[in-house]
Structure 1
Amino acid sequence: MADSNATYTQIHIQFVFAVKFRDSLIQEDWKEELHKYITGIVQNNNHKLLVINSMPDHVHILVGMRPKQSVSDLVMEIKANSSRFINEKKFLSTRFEWQKGYGAFSYGKSQVNDVINYINNQEKHHHKKSFKEEYIEFLTKFDIDFNQEYIFNDLI
């Protein structure tokens, strides 16, 4: 018999966020270490990381969320700690920062495998379209009102 105090959820969220100014700073020789570090952050918060992949200028993370932490708190923790990790490891000669803001897109259980395949095949997708085009496509597909002027901070 089920525990009457138990909470049962199934929440799948894809997070997408960019390197500040969409600079191509995530390098092939340390991105796996970054992915493992982010996986640890997610797991330490009692969520399940289903898949992570990054391109030089952005990252995609699919998480099975537990309802004890807000989406914004988890993303803030991932971004703050992973940027600190990159800087402390001195992977770059310049200071690393994530751009402000993020995308969070929810999926049903029947969509999870397709999202995992999509995230695993980022390199293939980006031969056809830029990250900005991909991100606008997400916002449109999920019927999210947005002002294109505020989607990305470009280097001026």
Structure 2
Amino acid sequence: MYLIVFTPKYRRKQIYNQLRADIQQNIRDLCKWKGVEIIERHMMPDHIHLLLSIPPKMSISSFMGYLKGKSSLMIFDRHANLKYKYGNRHFWARGYYVDTVGRNKKQIQEYIKKQLEEDQLADQMSLKEYTDPFTGSKNTKA
């Protein structure tokens, strides 16, 4: 089993949120076609976590080339306006992170599952102070 993390080339949150469902479906389809089992997955606004079971006959680099290449073609085919806006049909950034998973499989599964909660908590945090810490009055500049 392998933990894989990769990112879109254009980290624009509004584009990524619009394509989120399509990206998830593309990854599911491509993994199913190659016989790769998705154990856990989570999509963050700027990267994707996948815990995959890849067959031993397949190399990780060839699978990642296939996954990133085919999924970007599928995205640009379904959303034709993106290829004119960003060109070259390069949706994913170069590179990816891979780590083998052994005895710590359960911890990694929990980490990926909890990414959604941590992401929501991070979105709720604010640097604005709604009350002035010195006077206690309502801060009108926030």
When the two structures are superposed, what TM-score results if normalisation uses the length of structure 1?
A: 0.64
> Could you report, residue by residue, the CA deviation over 1:123-155 in whole angstroms, capped at 9, with x for unpaired residues?
333455xxxxxxxxxxxxxxxxxxxxxxxxxxx
Structure with max Cα Rg: 2
Greater mean deviation of Cα atoms: 69-78 or 119-128 = 119-128
Maintained 8 Å contact 1:51/1:62? yes
- Structure 1 distance, partners of 2:21, 2:107, is 22
- Structure 1 Cα separation of the partners of residues 54 and 45 of structure 2: 26
For residue 86 of structure 1, the aligned residue among 68, 75, 78 is 75
Q: Within the alignment, does 1:76 sit opposite 2:51 as a pair?
A: no
Structure-2 separation of matches of 1:36 and 1:74: 17
Specify the alignment match of 1:50 in structure 2: 39
Instruction: Report if aligned partners of 1:35, 1:53 keep a CA contact under 8 Å in 2.
Output: no
Q: Please provide the CA RMSD for this pair.
A: 2.2
Name the structure 2 match of 1:35. Answer: 24
Change (3 A) 1:99 1:120: same
Stretch deviating more after TM superposition (93-102 or 62-71): 93-102
Classify 1:26/1:91 alpha carbon distance in 2 versus 1 (closer, same or farther; 3 Å).
farther
Aligned length: 115
Question: Take 1:57 and 1:86, find their aligned partners in 2: how far apart are those partners?
Answer: 17
CA contact under 8 A between 1:26 and 1:55: conserved in structure 2? no
The answer for the alignment partner of 1:106 in structure 2 is 100
Identical amino acids, percent of aligned pairs: 23
The gaps in structure 2 that reach 5 residues or longer are 123-142
* CA deviation after TM superposition for structure 1 residue 52, in Å: 1.7
Partners in 2 of 1:117 and 1:91 — Cα distance?
A: 37
Q: Give the match for residue 118 of structure 2.
A: 125
Please, what TM-score do these two structures have when normalized by structure 2? 0.69
- Residue identity matched to 2:75: I
Aligned: 1:97 with 2:91: yes
1:92/1:14 CA distance change after superposition, 3 Å: farther
Q: What runs of 5+ residues in structure 1 fail to find an aligned partner? A: 1-11, 129-156
Query: How far did 1:86 drift?
Result: 1.4
